[in-house]
Amino acid sequence: MKKTFPEKFLWGAATAAHQVEGNNTHSDYWTMEKLEGTTFKEPSGDAVDHYRMYREDIALMAELGLNTYRFSIEWARIEPQEGIFNVEALDHYRVVLAACQESGITPIVTMHHFSSPKWLITVGGWESEGTPARFARYCEYVMSELGSMIPYVCTINEANISVGIAKVIKQFTAGKETFAQVGLQTDMQQRMVTYYGALGKAFGIDPRQVQHFLSPRTKRGFSLIFEAHMAARVVIRRVSPATKIGLTMSLFDIQASSGGEENAQHEHQEEFLQFIPYLKGDDFFGLQNYSSETYGPDGLMPIPEDAERTQMGYLYNPEALEQVIRYVSKHIDIPIIVTENGTATDNDERRVEFINRAISGVHACIQDGIPVQGYTHWSLLDNFEWMLGYTKTFGLIAVDRNTQKRMPKPSARHLGTIAQSNACPNEY
């Protein structure tokens, strides 16, 4: 029997505004990329000029055979100064949504994907008690204008990301892993001192109070992120009741070796289980996975030396996605959309293999009755990978940044063929 997916399954790819649009001048990241001692490998600059070339990119998605585009609306463009909304920026995203409609592409819109308005940081950022209300005000403005064109909205991308950031910092300071594994300099501690001093000057506040979305969080800061999600959910329900609402989380496939069960359970609690109460009332869950981790009696176990790694230093493990879907489905009873899954590699044959194995796992979950409604690959385009600059290639489509020419990789056409057949790899 042919292994097909449900009718109207969402097949797509994803981007984030700051990583692809270019010249996001009112954002916190635009400021941080240019400071003395910056931890960013390079500034974002024009990125891949998606703010101007969105029509071409959306049309290319449709030509490839994809039917869904997950992208973010940039808060810093919509509200460059607190309480002052930019109608021109709003109209830009209105036209982007119209281009999706014209190409038969279903949009999944993310309201916050890591970058924030610079002004938000000056008033306390993501540790401020006022941030949930400010975020909800922005969401209400956008969704009251554009909600009728947005069938799915993710309020916050990777709302749990600070758990992972704290883990990386702990591993780095313990000497178990180094930032050099993913291409950053090893003199990070001294650079951070210089960098945060410059940050304080740039934002006009004590550098210890600079709290962007990817800063290490206090316990209260964790709560504020999820309270922002809930506040946004309330206003979106009111102004755009037909839009389905969720958030996304980045989740590792967490496994235990003998004696590591307690450590693995602790990681499950930290990364996912503690946040489940905030999801009550959501319409779907945005699941994001890239790899797996194994815990032993002494904690996180190192990746075997002979194992294949991605450019990010992760274990190459496409089967991790299936395991995470199965784990999540045991704890929540709402539909799941895979909002990000992919691999950073300059070997596109390995990307094709990754897609094949990951999608086969998604199908197995659906066959067992798990309500997975879509798969959006990260990412549509090779783009600006935050502190790592343009050195990591996740994209289905390569970009010559000198000319901004788009060059679809074989993996793009491969995923498009799967989408058009609506069947597992090797079944079309």
Q: Which residues contact 162 (CB under 8 A, 6 or more apart)?
A: 214, 215, 216, 217, 221, 222, 225
Task: State the pLDDT at residue 127.
Answer: 97
Tens digits of residue pLDDT in 81-133: 999 999 999 999 999 999 999 999 999 999 999 999 999 999 999 999 999 99
Task: State the pLDDT at residue 426.
Answer: 75
For range 324-344, the mean pLDDT: 98
Tens digits of residue pLDDT in 367-400: 999 999 999 999 999 999 999 999 999 999 999 9
Tens digits of residue pLDDT in 218-263: 999 999 999 999 999 999 999 999 999 999 999 999 999 999 999 9
Give percent above pLDDT 90 in the chain. 87
Task: State the pLDDT at residue 156.
Answer: 98
For range 329-350, the mean pLDDT: 98
Q: Is residue 20's pLDDT more than 70?
A: yes
Tens digits of residue pLDDT in 51-90: 999 999 999 999 999 999 999 999 999 999 999 999 999 9
Q: What is the pTM of this model?
A: 0.95
Angstrom distance (rounded) from CA 428 to CA 420: 9
Indicate the domain borders of the chain.
10-421
Among candidate residues 79, 158, 271, 293, the one labeled active-site is: 158
Task: State the pLDDT at residue 195.
Answer: 80
Task: State the pLDDT at residue 190.
Answer: 72
Q: Which residues contact 55 (CB under 8 A, 6 or more apart)?
A: 99
In CATH terms, 10-421 corresponds, of 2.40.160.20, 3.20.20.80, 3.40.190.10, 1.20.58.220, to 3.20.20.80
Q: Which residues of 40-78 are buried (b: 16+ CB within 10 A; e: fewer)?
A: bbeebeebbbbbebbeebbebbbebbbbbbbbbbbbbbb
Q: What is the DSSP-derived secondary structure letter of residue 275?
A: G
Tens digits of residue pLDDT in 251-285: 999 999 999 999 999 999 999 999 999 999 999 99
Confidence band for 39, pLDDT divided at 50, 70 and 90: confident
Tens digits of residue pLDDT in 148-191: 999 999 999 999 998 888 777 666 566 555 555 545 555 666 77
Whether residue 33 lies in the annotated active site: no
